[in-house]
Structure 1
């Protein structure tokens, strides 16, 4: 399956395929996410499997850099999947997830059904 834009509750969502190319740096995010989202998406749903491990190590700065790029392009980022293993590694990520899920720009959800429910 390729990355596809689907509308859910009136919101166009770029649903990224878990088998797609890995996102290891900001340029990957620009090429793979922003480029595809410019076909009309407002939300970019990225499976955990597509994100490099360094995304979840906040000291690397990758999560902040990618998030900022997407926000600059007026796109919302949703990380989809089980991140429990990453959460056990430290409280900074747990704090980020909790705070992000309270806002509108970055969410961490278990699955697409949870995302679609939040969009309702």
Structure 2
């Protein structure tokens, strides 16, 4: 796992680069959050869709909700870059829509959109 930090003014976003699945359960998500905060000092970060187990996108597993709740508790903001249109679940589409209209979690198609979203929130 490699991380770089993108800075705009006083806002810092860690960009995580890895070909591995980094989040397959809640503990992985907490470990990733702690590692990024330790390595970079950032409380906002970007990962790729392939860094997250497919179970995350199956809402009935509750993994997405549990991870996002933990990150909310620790005031960590996350953007996931990927293609989400191929998921047929209306619940998932609604979940992504709601996240993208909030200020904590974002599901976007490219790094620039992720940086814009995360730098735009306090």
Q: TM-score, normalised by structure 1?
A: 0.86
C-alpha deviation, 1:70, in angstroms: 1.1
The gaps in structure 2 that reach 5 residues or longer are none
Q: In 2, are the aligned partners of 1:2 and 1:20 still within 8 Å (CA)?
A: no
Aligned residues: 118
Per-residue displacement from partner, 1:36-84 (whole Å, max 9, x unpaired)?
1243112121110100000000000100111111111111111111122
Structure 2 Cα separation of the partners of residues 6 and 84 of structure 1: 27
The gaps in structure 1 that reach 5 residues or longer are none
C-alpha deviation, 1:35, in angstroms: 2.5
Aligned-pair RMSD on alpha carbons?
1.8
1:5 and 2:25 are equivalent in the alignment: no
Q: Which moved more, 1:63-72 or 1:26-35?
A: 26-35
SS in 2 for 1:6: strand
Q: TM-score, normalised by structure 2?
A: 0.85
